[in-house]
Structure 1
Amino acid sequence: MSAPEDRDDPYAGFPGRIGRTISESEPAWPEEPTAAVGSPNVVVILVDDLGFADIGPYGSEIATPHLDRLARDGVSFTDYHTTPLCSPSRAALLTGLNPHKAGFAYPANADPGYPAYAFTLPDNAPTVAETLRDHGYATFALGKWHLAGDRLQHDGADKGSWPCQRGFDRYFGSLEGFTSLHAPHRLVWDNSPYPVQEHPDGYYLTDDLTERALDMITTLRASDPVKPFLLYLAHAAVHGPVQAKESDIADYAGVYDAGWDHIRSERFRRQIDLGLFGDDTVLPPANHEPGLDVPPWDSLDHDQQRRFARYMEVYAAAVQAVDASTGRLIEHLERLGELDNTIIVFTSDNGATAEGGAEGTRSYYSQFAHVAGLPDDWDRDVDRDLELIGGPQTTVHYPRGWGQASNTPFRLYKAHTFAGGIRAPLIVHWPAGALLGAGDDGLRRQYLHVTDLTPTLLDLLGIAPPDHRHGRVAPALDGVSAAGLLRDPGAASVHGDQYTETAGQRAYQSGHWKIVTRHRPGTAFDDAEWQLYDLSGDPTETTDLAPVRPEVVAELAAAWERAAWANRVFPLDDHGPASGRRRPDDARFGDPVTLRPFGGTVERWRSAQLVQHRDVAITASFRLAAGDAGVLVAHGDQGGGYLLAVDTDDRGEPVAWFGVNAYGVMHRTPPIGLALGESELLVQLQVRPRFRLDVLLTDGRAASTLTDLPQLVGMAPFTGISVGADRGGPVDWEVRRRAGSHPFSGVLHAIHYRPGPLSADAPAERARVWAEGVRIYD
């Protein structure tokens, strides 16, 4: 029988179709992307909130021998600039675009509705991971992502801005902006939540990320011994809550008893000795910034000094753990024979922070409650024992005096556009790239911006930036390649003028001139805010020349405005009174919901919409047999949360109780007796004025109450809702100590949440009223 016509042939157009023999056909395998033989690996190590002076090569007393080695054998930049905050810097680093163009004018925990606040990476903007994968690289990401809006992190969300959709083959870490290092609130493996019943004793996230990074590399080499890889290791450390292993904390016992003024002075002396700055560089006066002043160490009493020193011991230990992680990665690459041909980039996303306040805090989520209208007596530092600071039972942050020392020799902090917020360490190590010539001290004093990292890496690899993504024309990169600077300490700076803006804080740098503001949220954006500094002789921004050079201010202010229009910075949003605005369709997350038992937790932001700033009725339906006990529902962790549990009393009879962890202090209702068989418990959480909370627990016959507790607001509860156990970080430490996650041994049918309307204190309600012109708070 003859072969059918091509129009009837399902194999028409393919080699070897019906009617041809194999010998008549040429195979047509699709081409696969392959990297050039010998292409270098790329490792980018990003630390969260690490100050300019926090590692040895930049003047620190903290033990960082592995980073010292990278700096000794590589190059270190003294004039590297980031954005003032985390998500904007990460978006700029991975895309080469200015952050507003990349959709991240601010961290991904707001939603004012402006184009620069999309909180998803643009669909037409390739990341460096996508580009390298298209050129035959394996791509791995670990740690903090923070490049998907908080409303886009739950299991039902659009994952278009998650790591595996933005070029990474593998991912393990937290999509959120920060997490506990002892008990991460929600880890993601590739595209799915990674269920954790409870973290083992001694768990530490920095170590876990390191182990998984090594495993990803080893697994790749088991399958392909030559394929190059990109490893993006974005540590959750040293962002708050600052936590460390007790063994590392012990290494710094007594080191910080001399105080932040002494440590700052010593770091500056070492920076001069290292050649990072000239002998004529001026260290700005300590403790003087208006509204962000720091008390002299000698003015503190003994108890304050001991507590504050402990905070810095913990911070130093967390930095030391990052260095140890780097060392393990170096050793692994050496064992594979790949260290010399691996480009290692080590840096921070912004300067050190002042968010711990003047006193620091042992209750980070209470301190971090950026909610308008909190009363003056709100407790931002819930008292905890000194030895607990930094461990799994506390969520802490250091006082801003240590942030000042971390940013030596610069002024101000993270979130500011002064150098303290945007000057960061940057080390590049690549022995096979011959970065160091004869007589080269390894220091690079030229200006470099975070947007330059992607084009620099692509240039070193000989890869052109792609001109399309998903069929759409890709935007031109805002960064430029600094490959020439890496090999030539005398090369001219390549990055031109640069604008900066975050939450109304603004700056513009053109050559040696820089204008900068200290904007107060809720006030007008006034050109009179501009200060002017000549960085050629004043890199630490100590002498404001605006009064004597108004023509330079005017020229740079006009240039800033042009850049702002070109990068869709407008409208300016200082996250003042209207900062609680959210897109209207987010209101659906406050609708009633029924939760069935499952092995993980509901995502943090999604969970919070059910309980924050509103009355809520929580109903648990279950069947109880003799001896049954366990947690019915839990929401939160040691930083704040609540749980409903069934236990047995001294007579072996079943009882129920409800507990609230108020930012570190545990409150429990008196237990109520339960009957065996089918049961239903109702918990009513009732919000009160001045951010207070009342609790009622009842089975319809007996009732038990708690009154006048602080509401859980802001980032608390941080761990999401867990049904049938207290998974992850525990709400109640005593329960975890005696029963672990305490899974319920009866039959749990469902947990039902019935939220009420938002209270007048809710940020969204305050923003709505503000927008309608009714000023309800200062």
Structure 2
Amino acid sequence: MTDLSASSSAGDNGQDAYAGFPGRIGRTISESVPAWPAERTAPQGSPNVIVIVVDDLGYADLGPYGSEIATPHLDRLAADGVRFTNYHTTPLCSPSRAALLTGLNPHKAGFAFPANSDPGYPAYTFTLPDNAPTLAETLRERGYATFALGKWHLTGDRLQHDGASKASWPCQRGFDRYFGALEGFTSLHAPHRLVWDNSPYPVQEFPADYYLTDDLTERAIEMISTLRAADADKPFFLYLAHAAVHGPVQAKAADIADYDHVYDVGWDQIRLDRFRRQLELGLFDAGTVLPPSNRETALDVPPWDSLDEDQRRRFARYMQVYAGAVQAVDASTGRLIEHLERRGELDNTIIVVTSDNGATAEGGPEGTRSYYSQFAHIAELPDDWQRDVDRELALIGGPQTTVHYPRGWGQASNTPFRLYKGHTFAGGIRVPLIVHWPDGGLRGADEDGIRRQYAHVTDVTPTLLDLIGVAPLAARHGLAAPQIDGVSAAGLLRDPGADQQHDDQYTETGGRRAYQRGHWKIVTEHRPGTPFDDTEWQLYDTEADPTETQNVADSHPEVVTELATAWERAAWRNRVFPLDDHGPASSLRRPDDDRFAGTIDLLPFAGTVERWRSAQLVQHRDVAITASFRVAAGDAGVLVAHGDQGGGYLLVVDTDEQGEPIAWFGVNAYGVVHRTSPINLAPGENELLVLLRALPGFRLEALLTDGAVVTGLADLPQLVGMAPFTGISVGADRGGPVDWELHRRAGSHPFSGVLHNVRYAPGVLSDEAPAERARVWAEGVRIYD
């Protein structure tokens, strides 16, 4: 140690060089240099954590839960880990994800419903509370690296555009890195908008073999490898939220081919076979009853034998695609396992695999090859609205179609339970949960790894923190954190005979309600548009009757009263009121959102405008679209495109047989492309005007003119709901193509001339617009009140 008080530090005149610096004379380096601030480090030997959530996966869709779908890697995790047979989530996606990542009940977390409306109710804020730390925020504070990939859906749709606050985006909620789609779902072959960290990830066009499930997996491995190149010991938390198998259901051709003819036997036989295997696996007691096929109005499933040959062939293909998508998720999990094994980290990694809700009935009785048409949740759509646009059988599941299976397959996916996603019966909320951690001593050598005790999605965060040995953050942004609603299931993981810890739980979505206390459960099946207090409670003993086949409310009225009172108390504590069954209030939007429907000039740029922001310019209103450009001989390309194979429109400069420039406008009507006749263009400066007119009955008229010649399309369906899904692209058709034939010929077809700008001048909302009807309804309510 050098003593700085020695003469070597003195000036030429013999005076100390540190004169004028009080307190420094005579001090050594060790005494004078301040200590480095302590790094935030995880406890020694802390495990990595991987949480894999598969969207809309039914209880019986994995091999360890009775499925015929090949899931060898998930089978392995279950065989070496723990399977919960009585794990419950919420009936819908965003609420489940909010509950999983915070440990709070979903209404309290601001997500009573998926993040695609804005009625202004306290439980519908669609941003996580400022004072509620996420699991990622707690773990990052404790020294973990944190990564998120895939579906987020914890940001309201109005806050996903590039000018919005990013306070509710993944990197602001505890994740160091993020790659995926903020929206609730997307195309697996051509995602509508990918985000990398806090910025859109521009894609000119996707490779022919692109598949999102694979991309997410490779990027997850890349994130882990990048971390390990810098720090060999730092634990990580990886949240991998697969968009599969939410609609539109899509799969790779090879995976689809693996299930040729498997589903020709139909959903009734598949359901019976899955139930038989579930009994063999010991998931249920031998006396458990498989309920009859769902019979509720608009939720019923016809016998497979009652279908005609064409229906059976098409419906079997739908399930082939679904199985292929699940198989791809399993292969994705296998690649992660292999990577962890190569690094010697598998045994000290907690891997959780689950679903956010039960399988869905949103495909309707027939399924659909045009998902965005089927998914248009507008009560006033005419009876002749085409929800299934005819497409070739071989295209189903590939990049040219947006499909979903009929609800008969949703029933089979939820075997042995009743009803579907969105319902508070077990089919909507009882899902797989696999936990794997060899170093954690979760499973004894002489036991089967099955846990039959009740557990809930709010238990995931406290369980993982308990296993790791860290406490949740006490505050966030200077605000005291709310008490977590979930409880740790760590004891259940380590001891199959441990007492159940989570004994009371309310559920609500769209006015459908349930309450579980011990083995008793009350449940309602509210019908939208009917009074909430007209709904009768049903009562089930879930220990003796896990499939909810015997309503015993009449013989135990005191239990019904007790649990109904408990539900109401829980509802008040958790901000469940006012109840909303997705009537007019669900279409309300805050008044300042009207600014997004103003005239806007778009210049060419590398990406696309976000979906919701783009929709404000065109949906349920007339709009004038003006493109100003310069063209020379041989120039061609897309001036503006909006949408993809699920529905959209585009304006194109092309060439005729003589090589002269022409222009045409095309509309993809949920899978069928319509083109105007062409307009000849003169070399030099040009201006084209497209008029889109929203006609009564949700019909659409399109006119194209250069000021002299007018051509057009008449009597098309309006693009509503989630269509167009890919946002506006200027100067090319980026991402998923609107017109497949043009895409096959020219790819994204960037315009080779000079595009000055594209102007959107929207008109007022039509009287049929859900937001306009909601406004009229709300004003009437205020007047009445």
Shared fold (TM-score greater than 0.5)? yes
Separation in 2, partners of 1:435, 1:16: 58
Q: Does 1:463 align with 2:482?
A: no
Contact kept, 8 Å, 1:16 with 1:25, in 2: the verdict is no
Pairing of 1:223-372 with structure 2 (within 5 A):
223-372=230-379
Q: Does 1:711 align with 2:718?
A: yes
Q: Does 1:727 align with 2:740?
A: no
Alignment correspondent of 2:688: 681
Separation in 1, partners of 2:614, 2:292: 45
Q: Deviations over 1:315-354 (max 9, x none)?
A: 0000000000000000000000000000000000000000
Q: Deviations over 1:580-618 (max 9, x none)?
A: 111111111111111010000000000000000000000
Which of 498, 505, 519 pairs up with 2:526? 519
Q: CA deviation at 1:30?
A: 1.6
Alignment correspondent of 1:4: none
Separation in 1, partners of 2:267, 2:670: 27
- Report % sequence identity: 81
Separation in 1, partners of 2:186, 2:247: 8
Q: CA deviation at 1:538?
A: 0.7
Q: Does 1:541 align with 2:548?
A: yes
Alignment correspondent of 2:514: 507
Separation in 2, partners of 1:596, 1:414: 42
Q: Deviations over 1:605-633 (max 9, x none)?
A: 00000000000000000111111110000
Report the AA paired with residue 426 of structure 2.
Answer: A
Structure-2 change in CA distance of 1:271 and 1:678 (3 Å): same
Q: TM-score, normalised by structure 2?
A: 0.96
Structure-2 change in CA distance of 1:85 and 1:23 (3 Å): closer
Separation in 1, partners of 2:44, 2:36: 21
Q: CA deviation at 1:577?
A: 3.2
Q: Deviations over 1:114-140 (max 9, x none)?
A: 111000011100000010001110000
Separation in 1, partners of 2:26, 2:223: 47
Which of 370, 392, 397 pairs up with 2:399? 392
Alignment correspondent of 2:79: 72
- Other structure's SS at 1:298 match: helix
Q: CA deviation at 1:773?
A: 4.1
Alignment correspondent of 2:638: 631
Q: Does 1:659 align with 2:659?
A: no
Contact kept, 8 Å, 1:138 with 1:229, in 2: the verdict is yes
Q: CA deviation at 1:36?
A: 2.0
Q: Does 1:484 align with 2:484?
A: no
Moved more, 537-546 or 90-99: 537-546
Alignment correspondent of 1:108: 115
Which of 370, 376, 382 pairs up with 2:389? 382
Q: Does 1:770 align with 2:767?
A: no
Separation in 2, partners of 1:17, 1:676: 80
Structure-2 change in CA distance of 1:766 and 1:272 (3 Å): same
Which of 130, 149, 157 pairs up with 1:142? 149
Report the AA paired with residue 101 of structure 1.
Answer: K
Q: CA deviation at 1:24?
A: 4.4
Report the AA paired with residue 560 of structure 2.
Answer: V
Q: TM-score, normalised by structure 1?
A: 0.97
Report the AA paired with residue 704 of structure 1.
Answer: T
Separation in 2, partners of 1:405, 1:239: 16
Q: CA deviation at 1:165?
A: 0.3
Moved more, 431-440 or 143-152: 431-440
Q: Structure 1: which 4+ aligned runs deviate by more than 4 Å? A: 14-24
Aligned CA RMSD, in angstroms, stands at 1.7
Structure-2 change in CA distance of 1:18 and 1:318 (3 Å): farther
Any gaps of 5 or more consecutive residues in structure 1? Answer: 1-10
Which of 591, 594, 598 pairs up with 2:601? 594
Separation in 2, partners of 1:633, 1:613: 20
Q: CA deviation at 1:726?
A: 0.1
Any gaps of 5 or more consecutive residues in structure 2? Answer: 1-17
Contact kept, 8 Å, 1:185 with 1:720, in 2: the verdict is yes
Separation in 2, partners of 1:377, 1:597: 39
Q: CA deviation at 1:552?
A: 1.4
Q: CA deviation at 1:528?
A: 4.0
Q: CA deviation at 1:771?
A: 2.8
Separation in 2, partners of 1:554, 1:654: 75
Structure-2 change in CA distance of 1:527 and 1:287 (3 Å): closer
Contact kept, 8 Å, 2:525 with 2:535, in 1: the verdict is no
Which of 186, 190, 197 pairs up with 1:183? 190
Contact kept, 8 Å, 1:52 with 1:58, in 2: the verdict is yes
Report the AA paired with residue 356 of structure 2.
Answer: D
Separation in 2, partners of 1:17, 1:37: 38
Report the AA paired with residue 581 of structure 2.
Answer: D
Q: Deviations over 1:704-729 (max 9, x none)?
A: 11000000000000000000000000
Structure-2 change in CA distance of 1:17 and 1:643 (3 Å): farther
Alignment correspondent of 2:3: none
Separation in 1, partners of 2:24, 2:97: 50
Report the AA paired with residue 242 of structure 2.
Answer: H
Which of 422, 426, 429 pairs up with 1:419? 426
Alignment correspondent of 1:151: 158
Separation in 2, partners of 1:390, 1:505: 32
Q: Does 1:220 align with 2:227?
A: yes
- Other structure's SS at 1:456 match: helix
Separation in 2, partners of 1:210, 1:373: 41
Which of 679, 682, 689 pairs up with 1:672? 679
Pairing of 1:550-629 with structure 2 (within 5 A):
550-629=557-636
Contact kept, 8 Å, 2:526 with 2:535, in 1: the verdict is no
Q: Deviations over 1:651-694 (max 9, x none)?
A: 11111100000000000000001111111100000011100000
Report the AA paired with residue 107 of structure 1.
Answer: P
Alignment correspondent of 1:7: none
Separation in 1, partners of 2:23, 2:715: 79
Structure-2 change in CA distance of 1:42 and 1:254 (3 Å): same
Report the AA paired with residue 40 of structure 2.
Answer: P
- Other structure's SS at 1:209 match: helix
Separation in 1, partners of 2:197, 2:445: 45
Contact kept, 8 Å, 2:294 with 2:419, in 1: the verdict is no
Separation in 1, partners of 2:557, 2:160: 47
Q: CA deviation at 1:554?
A: 1.3
Contact kept, 8 Å, 1:33 with 1:134, in 2: the verdict is yes
Contact kept, 8 Å, 2:588 with 2:775, in 1: the verdict is yes
Alignment correspondent of 1:402: 409
Moved more, 572-581 or 217-226: 572-581
Report the AA paired with residue 593 of structure 1.
Answer: I
Q: CA deviation at 1:543?
A: 1.0
> Across the two proteins, how many residue pairs are aligned to each other?
765
Separation in 2, partners of 1:50, 1:594: 42
Q: CA deviation at 1:769?
A: 2.2
- Other structure's SS at 2:635 match: coil
Contact kept, 8 Å, 1:522 with 1:577, in 2: the verdict is no
- Other structure's SS at 1:256 match: helix
Q: Does 1:30 align with 2:31?
A: no
Q: Does 1:496 align with 2:503?
A: yes
Q: Does 1:130 align with 2:113?
A: no
Q: CA deviation at 1:26?
A: 3.1
Contact kept, 8 Å, 1:39 with 1:461, in 2: the verdict is yes
Report the AA paired with residue 141 of structure 1.
Answer: A
Contact kept, 8 Å, 1:287 with 1:296, in 2: the verdict is no
Q: Does 1:474 align with 2:481?
A: yes
Separation in 2, partners of 1:319, 1:724: 36
Moved more, 529-538 or 111-120: 529-538
Q: Does 1:167 align with 2:167?
A: no
Contact kept, 8 Å, 1:15 with 1:26, in 2: the verdict is no
